[in-house]
Every structure is written in structure tokens, then in C-alpha cells.
Amino acid sequence: MILHLFAAEGDPEAEAALDAGCAVEMVHTASLILDDLPCMDDAKTRRQLPTTHVIYGEATAILAAIALLNRAFGVIAGLDEVPAPVRARLADILSRAIGWDGLVAGQEMDIRGVAVADRQEVERLNWLKTGVLFVAAAEMGAVLRGLDEAATGAVLGFATHLGHAFQMADDLLDLTSTADQVGKDVGQDKGKTNIVSLVGIDGARLSCRQHLVKADEALVASGLNPAPFRSLMSRYFGQVMSSAT
């Protein structure tokens, strides 16, 4: 969704941005399937439905995740309207977000219970678990849009703060909401160090808002039309803030 906002309807890059956004979502969905497995978070509910392994078994869930990851790069390779060097750059961005400095590293730290003692370490873990994919989507959008270095830097700043805000909001929901409200298992962070456990509910809510303010400032600095991005942020975070009481 974030990536598609970089191209308005009718723009030449709109279809490519939508397809690339679908590739990112394939990676995201694959990560959720794996995250829910018994050997990881052992979640029973996702998006208000039983998790993939609950319905189809662990083997099929793993195969589904592998298929989604592979197809994501196939979609990027098939962006025929995009020059080959740009397609290669998009694939590289997405690959780095998934790999040992990205989602894989974050998940490994999370399931191994790597000790985090302060806010800086928590935010680094949040960055690896969530933020890298936000930034990858935004960077891919900037590449497709042909933004210059300064605008791209602002876009990356926007996505970085948005990713931090999203993870903080997710931590708040895990503690303050029910499974029916959020459509997935809650209480998964019990015993883990996160922003909520460090600074409390009010402090986490304040920090989330601060990141959203910084995200908006970076968005304005990028020169992009902020309206569609603000609409997306308002729809999600408005619900989160009203739920996190």
C-alpha cells in the first residue's frame, strides 16, 4: 500500500508501483506465515482466521511461504515497463530487507530471546522485525518515481519513523486489545522487553505519536503529495490510539 502511494492513478509508473507493492506484500505475508508457526510464535489466529499451519499443517505452511517469497521476485522480474537496471535495484532492495540484516535477523533475535535492556536496543529489534520492510517499500517507490537523493533520503526517514510507530502500536495492541479486536493472537509479547514494558502504556503511546510527527515532517520534506499518506496513517493509527486505552 505504501509503495503504490508513490504513483497517482494515471501516472506511467502506477501499474509498476502496484505490482511491486504486491511483491512486498507477498514477502510480508510469507513472513507472517513463518512467524505464526509453532516453532516460532505458535499463533493460532491471524487476520481473524485460523493461521495457515492450523488449517493446512506446518509443512504446507512452510511451502506456501517459500512459494510467496519466490513469486515476489518473479513479479519484480516481470515489470516489463521498468528498465532492467531498475528492476535489479528493486530486487536488491527487497532481498536485503528479507535477509540476515533484515527480517531474518529480527526474527532470530526475537525467537532466541536475545536480551534487550534499553530503548535503543528495543528500537533496533523493532527496526529489524518491522521497519526494514517499511523502508524497503518506500525506497522501491522512490526508485520507481525517480526521486533525487535528497527526496529519497526524506522518504527513507518517513518510512523509518512510520515503521517504529507501527511496531509500537502493535506492542500496545498486544497488551491492551483482545484477539477479536485485532484479528490475531494477543499476549504474544508477555515476558519480552519492548517499548511498553520499558516506558508504560502512556509513554509508548506518546512515543508512537512522536514518531508519527517526525514521519509527517519527513514526508513534507520529500516533496511528495502528503494527502494519501496521511489518509493511510490516520486510518490505521487513529484506530490504534483509540483502542490503546
pLDDT, tens digit, for every residue of 159-194? 999 988 988 888 887 776 655 655 555 555 566 677
Give the DSSP letter string of 40-64. Answer: TT---EETTEE-HHHHH-HHHHHHH
Residue, of 29 and 244, whose pLDDT is higher: 29
Q: Is-contact 139 156, C-beta < 8 A?
A: yes
Q: Whose grid coordinates read 532481498?
A: 95
Determine the straight-line distance between the first and last CA of the chain, rounded to whole angstroms. Answer: 27
Mean pLDDT, residues 14-33? 92
Q: Is-contact 177 243, C-beta < 8 A?
A: yes
Q: How far is CA 174 from the centre of its chain?
A: 16
pTM: 0.84
Would you say residue 217 has pLDDT above 80? yes
pLDDT at 32: 94
User: Which residue from 241, 107, 110, 104 is spatially nearest to 165, judged by alpha carbons?
Assistant: 241
Stretch among 31-40, 51-60, 101-110, 194-203 having the lowest mean pLDDT: 194-203
Mean pLDDT, residues 114-135? 77
Q: 244: pLDDT confidence band, cut at 50, 70 and 90?
A: very low
| Domain boundaries along the sequence of the chain | 3-243
User: Which residue from 168, 91, 183 is spatially nearest to 125, judged by alpha carbons?
Assistant: 168
Residue, of 144 and 12, whose pLDDT is higher: 144
Write the Ramachandran bin of 104: left for phi over 0, alpha for psi from -120 to 50, otherwise beta. Answer: alpha
pLDDT, tens digit, for every residue of 55-103? 999 999 999 999 999 999 999 999 998 999 999 999 999 999 999 888 9
Which CATH architecture is the domain 3-243 placed in? Orthogonal Bundle (1.10)
Mean pLDDT, residues 8-37? 86
Q: Dihedrals φ, ψ of 99, to 5°?
A: -75, -155
pLDDT at 150: 95
